Chains A and B, each alone.
Chain A
Amino acid sequence: MPRTTVLESPGCPPLRALTTDILGLVKVVEARTNPAGAAKVVETWGEPDASRAIVAASLADRAADPVLAMARKNGVVELLNPLNGDALAAVKTVGPASDDGSAEGDPLVALHLFTRQASDSMLGTFIACTDKGKASIRSIMKENAASGSDAGPSTTWDVCSGGNVQFCSVDHGESYAMFGGKGIEVNLWDISSCSKTWSAKSPRANSLGIFTRPWFTAGTFLCKDDHRKIVACTNNHQVRLYDTSLQRRPAISVDFREAPIKAVAADPNGHNVYIGTGTGDLASFDMRTGKLLGCYIGKCSGSIRSIVRHPELPLIASCGLDSYLRIWDTNTRQLLSAVFLKQHLTTVVIDSHFSVEAPVETNSKQPEFLVEAEAEVRKEKKSKTIEEDEAEAEVQLEKKKKKKKESKTVEEDVAEVRKEKKKKSRTTEENEERHSDEMCTTKRRKSGERSKCMKKKSKKQHAA
């Protein structure tokens, strides 16, 4: 018999991720509790067009009114509603410098959309950086979003004089931005005053007196509440930790394999980072000691372009040139799910508020609850054979009415339960995955029980 190996993926908890690719498409991948496990492509937004390839994307991950910003190859920054894919705004040029058709020579490379909102009239504020180092902050007002001609206040500054910027990262408090690239040392900028507060110094020449030119490919802030610790990755496969309060040279520098490091993401616990290389190796490091915690193994064969950590669940998602979106468990370092998305992917973002809101999910679940409820009702009926036919008919009629009401109440209950669970899961991060699994099962059970109780009550009432 042919022996085929089946990749046993344990399945991932409910999750919603958005990926962008080189054809300018945005694909929404969702994993649900029902049917459990595999993640699937739910929606695809946009028309395939190579000239509108998405080079960078950023999600303002808010419970209410989330916005997805995408930087296209032709210099347009678009704002989307990540829930339904409606285009909110499109800004043609990045800065005043690129007005005169220089967008081709100076493409966008990095984009960050701010999560905090200055006012309700503001649609969003983003910081974009071009290849030549022109960083600009622009905010888009809701009124003139459609026209996109003038988009609120904007500031522009030059990050560097020469070299190519390759990444831009903004800290959790969103008051500092970091830039780096080919020939550019890591720079820390104060966003509010647009002034450079710190820049790195390249490490000393090695024992042979060879001095390597700076070439940073990825970087991130290590801690949520501390903008002073920076992890930057270089093209010559080094992971460096800079402490801006301490010195300008790296505090820790670790080599990882042979391939250039292309992506990095920090863990919310404040000391772990996840890195991805140009040959498709994914690993996690503990930056307190600089030790390799382990590699993520699972037939990943193409360069990793983007890694993102789920803010609550112990998950990371990675994507890259092998056109797979892979979701990994950070505790066990196992592959939970892999989705083939057909194009070279550039960025992945996770919508962490998926399980809380998700009107789609509850809708899909509703019929099941009804079926379950009906089944239970039938069982009860079998036990009570004394009831007469007419009475039964009446009961059924009323039940139907009640069911409708109940289904609504059930939904609310589910939402409540979820919120409660969410809070709990936030407090206990360690066994989160188990929790989430339980979440899926207990939720249903509880709701089922509740509906049962309700039904009994209704029956009693009727009998009375």
Chain B
Amino acid sequence: MAKEKKRKQPASDSAPPQGDEGEGRRERKGKKAKKDKAEAILPSQIKNKDKRSELHAKLKREKKAEKRKLARERSQAIRRAEELGEQPPERQVPRTIENTREPDETVCRPDDQELFAGNDADEFNDVLKQHIIPKVLITTCRFNSGRGPAFIEELMQVIPNSHYVKRGTYELKKIVEYAKNRDFTSLIVVHTNRREPDALLIIGLPDGPTAHFKLSKLVLRKDIKNHGNPTSHKPELVLNNFTTRLGHRVGRMIQSLFPQDPNFRGRRVVTFHNQRDYIFFRHHRYIFETKESKVASKDKKAKTSESKSQPEKQVICRLQECGPRFTLKLLTLQHGTFDTKSGEYEWVHKPDMDTSRRRFFL
């Protein structure tokens, strides 16, 4: 690399003097002048494409080298600290859109007594306190075909105690009444468009809210490589990152779909992970294994000397994905059951909210 640099640098240096003699003179003075020049002339100021791309490539190379140097320095500092037995220097945290999120006053705090009082009063309290066993009715839009039926089949394996009812030509309000009379606690409607499921409606019963989600990135089980087949145990539930009051409410709503006493023997996990207002759904089986041979072989590759000193048995956790994989985005949250004509909305996504990339609502 060093040789290449040396070779290329003179070439790039020799290029500009053709245009201007004064600059060429300055270059001979030393490195400082060079740096000044590099700052002074931007690639965009050069009109000749060859020269411009040359300068651009050079700048890029320098930047890359600089970056590599810094990384090396950091790793050396860590190693040095390790040798001396000191505290390693703090790791730098990359700045992402999420951790530079706009401050939100609606974020739930654990010391908020009103929040808990509100939780006790809300519609899901009975289910979450295990007074009622959740019972879910799944239905579709009127014309269900394509991947819709397959998706519903898998959804029924994910959610215990769920029942599929053919939509027929009934109005949704009628179906809500029907489900209320039969003591269902939730109603899920899978909406398909052009033979593709594209929306999910979750209605809390008897008077719970109605959430309308956009459904995208649906991958069915058979399309997942090395997928597993779920058992009929009650799954564990993981809800990640539902921070604001709205998110809290949506999280509780999702929680109320599942029974609150998971069979840990089943080793089944259902995950709803919220990231930037998109809720990612995953369904896994996990297993804890004690594997000696694999651990040893891995360590051999890295450090042959250390592997012998380490204990041979090590517990590792393996994941196997099963069931569908999809992404939800909340569009509206309606107060009360499904009613488009006279419904009151608790939250509606409006385009004038999207003025910042760093504002999230869940």
Give Cα distance in the complex from A5 to B106, angstroms: 17
User: Pick the contact of A301 from B100, B118, B347 — CB < 8 Å?
Assistant: B347
Determine whether the beta carbon of B347 is less than 8 Å from that of A302.
yes
Give Cα distance in the complex from A48 to B113, angstroms: 9
Q: In the complex, which residues of chain B have a beta carbon less than 8 angstroms from the beta carbon of A322?
A: 346-347
Asked if A2 is an interface residue, CB under 8 A from chain B, the answer is yes
Asked if A342 is an interface residue, CB under 8 A from chain B, the answer is yes
Give Cα distance in the complex from A22 to B344, angstroms: 15
Determine whether the beta carbon of A323 is less than 8 Å from that of B121.
no
CB distance from A317 to the nearest CB of B (A): 18
Q: In the complex, which residues of chain B have a beta carbon less than 8 angstroms from the beta carbon of A23?
A: 114, 117-118, 121
Asked if A399 is an interface residue, CB under 8 A from chain B, the answer is no
Interface bits A1-32 vs B (CB < 8 Å: 1, else 0):
01111000000000000000011010000000
Give Cα distance in the complex from A81 to B333, angstroms: 36
Chain A contact-residue range equals 20 to 34
Q: In the complex, which residues of chain A have a beta carbon less than 8 angstroms from the beta carbon of B343?
A: 260, 278
User: Pick the contact of A279 from B95, B120, B341, B348 — CB < 8 Å?
Assistant: B348
User: Pick the contact of A342 from B100, B115, B335, B352 — CB < 8 Å?
Assistant: B115
In the complex, chain A residues 40-74 whose Cβ is within 8 Å of any chain B Cβ: 48-50
CB distance from B32 to the nearest CB of A (A): 29
Which of B41-49, B52-60, B353-361 sits within the interface? B353-361
Asked if B86 is an interface residue, CB under 8 A from chain A, the answer is no
Given A23-B114, A342-B245, answer yes or no on A303-B358 (Cβ-Cβ < 8 Å): no
Determine whether the beta carbon of A5 is less than 8 Å from that of B346.
no
Give Cα distance in the complex from A235 to B358, angstroms: 36
Q: In the complex, which residues of chain A have a beta carbon less than 8 angstroms from the beta carbon of B102?
A: 4-5
Q: In the complex, which residues of chain B have a beta carbon less than 8 angstroms from the beta carbon of A278?
A: 342-345
User: Pick the contact of B348 from A236, A301, A323, A343 — CB < 8 Å?
Assistant: A301
User: Pick the contact of A344 from B100, B346, B352, B359 — CB < 8 Å?
Assistant: B346
Asked if B350 is an interface residue, CB under 8 A from chain A, the answer is yes
Give Cα distance in the complex from A5 to B102, angstroms: 8
Asked if B112 is an interface residue, CB under 8 A from chain A, the answer is yes
In the complex, chain B residues 65-115 whose Cβ is within 8 Å of any chain A Cβ: 95, 100, 102-103, 105-106, 112-115
Determine whether the beta carbon of A301 is less than 8 Å from that of B342.
no
Give Cα distance in the complex from A114 to B313, angstroms: 81
Q: In the complex, which residues of chain A have a beta carbon less than 8 angstroms from the beta carbon of B121?
A: 22-23, 48-50
Interface bits A212-245 vs B (CB < 8 Å: 1, else 0):
0001000000000000000000011000000000
Q: In the complex, which residues of chain A have a beta carbon less than 8 angstroms from the beta carbon of B105?
A: 340
Asked if A110 is an interface residue, CB under 8 A from chain B, the answer is no
Give Cα distance in the complex from A322 to B355, angstroms: 19
User: Pick the contact of B356 from A3, A49, A323, A340 — CB < 8 Å?
Assistant: A3
Determine whether the beta carbon of B348 is less than 8 Å from that of A260.
no
Determine whether the beta carbon of B344 is less than 8 Å from that of A342.
no
Given A48-B114, A48-B121, A342-B118, answer yes or no on A235-B344 (Cβ-Cβ < 8 Å): no
User: Pick the contact of A321 from B95, B118, B335, B341 — CB < 8 Å?
Assistant: B335
Interface CB pairs A-B, < 8 A, 21? A3-B356, A3-B358, A4-B102, A5-B102, A48-B114, A50-B120, A260-B341, A260-B342, A279-B348, A280-B350, A299-B353, A301-B350, A301-B353, A303-B346, A322-B347, A323-B106, A340-B105, A340-B106, A342-B114, A342-B118, A342-B245
